[in-house]
Amino acid sequence: MKKKETYNIAIIGATGVVGREMIEILEERQFPVNELRLLASEKSVGQKISFKGKSLTVGLAEEKSFEGMDMVMGDTPTEVSKMFAPMVKKAGAVFIDCSSAFRADPKIPLVVPEVNGEAALAHDGIVAGPNCSAIPVAVAAKPIHKKYGIKRMVVSTYQSASGAGKGGMDELAAQTVALLNSKEIPLKVFAHRLAFNVIPQIDAFLPNGDTKEEDKIMKELRKLLNAPELALACTAVRVPVMCGHSATVNIELEKKASAQEISLLLEKAPGIVIRDDMAKKQYPMPMDIAGTDEVYVGRIREDHSIPNGINLWVCADNLRKGASLNAIQIAEYLIKNPS
């Protein structure tokens, strides 16, 4: 991407929860925007969204929408991203996609700037953003893998209702109200009641017993860490939290490291905040990290059941670092490293 003073940016799915976060973050970070073009499906056309004190009108996402744009960001269903990607490339813009459409494609870079930002520079018009749970785990795992080597990793994710979009958040709220008032429990987004419950299934089951979500997280972590043979296991669970994804990460290292050494290493790593004080009962929790940009790590301790074991608790805002912020950080990396 050529160096410019300001850039023309389009957001597909601008009225969704991730799209709205993108708009807010562009303003918060003072991204050098010349024109911001907000796009969505027909049902959202005409809506007004504020940006830098101005009211912008949401337009229809179609081929001509991308003309004159430098970058297009989106969080849309997979089939929608695949439909629009060729149009974005034809218009000469870079497509930074938060969907799962291109993550597994070996020709398309999958990028978390703190982990493998340089990979974005090898794009051919498309850069993929990873799964909202894979991102914080990769941010925490990368410095550990680089220094000590990771032999095996077991990840259990505790994913909030917002991971299922606005519909998931609305359903959790409606279920909670209904349950407390002895009303009928609405079920549309989730297969079971989420309020006061946990659901050990996110997405459909595969023949091997994993869910598609678990499979995506494992494959994306291998790609992000550039460790295609890394032994990984994952269980993804939906929890009755409105926003913020958490994960337990159990790591078997190639080389021995103490909990203190891991803590000091992560404390110096980009994008990480350590919140780990047993005496004060301090550790990352979704209710505290919602609306923040960093990956929070706590409960750092040795796993004494194996020779070189480490346990971590990881927490991040899935709408920000897990999606919208990561996309904008990719855009920032591209403009700081012009071709």
Counting every residue written for the chain, the total comes to: 339
Q: Apex CA 33: angle with CA 31 and CA 39, to 5°?
A: 110
DSSP 121: G
CA distance 313 to 165: 24
Q: Active-site residue among 98, 132, 234, 243? A: 132
CA distance 91 to 213: 32
Exposure string of 299-323, with b = 16+ CB inside 10 Å and e = fewer, is bbbbbeeeebbbbbbbbbbbbbbbb
In contact, 99 and 78? CB cutoff 8 Å: yes
Tokens of 282: 């301090």
Q: Active-site residue among 98, 243, 245, 315? A: 245
Bridge partner list, 152: 231, 252
CA distance 165 to 146: 34
In contact, 100 and 28? CB cutoff 8 Å: no
Task: Express the helix, strand and coil content of the chain in percent, nearest 5 each.
Answer: 35, 25, 40
Q: Is residue 132 among the annotated active site residues?
A: yes
Question: How far, in Å, are 61, 87, 122, 285, 313 from residue 140 at the CA level?
Answer: 36, 35, 24, 16, 10
Q: Is residue 234 among the annotated active site residues?
A: no
CA distance 268 to 281: 22
Catalytic residues: 132, 245
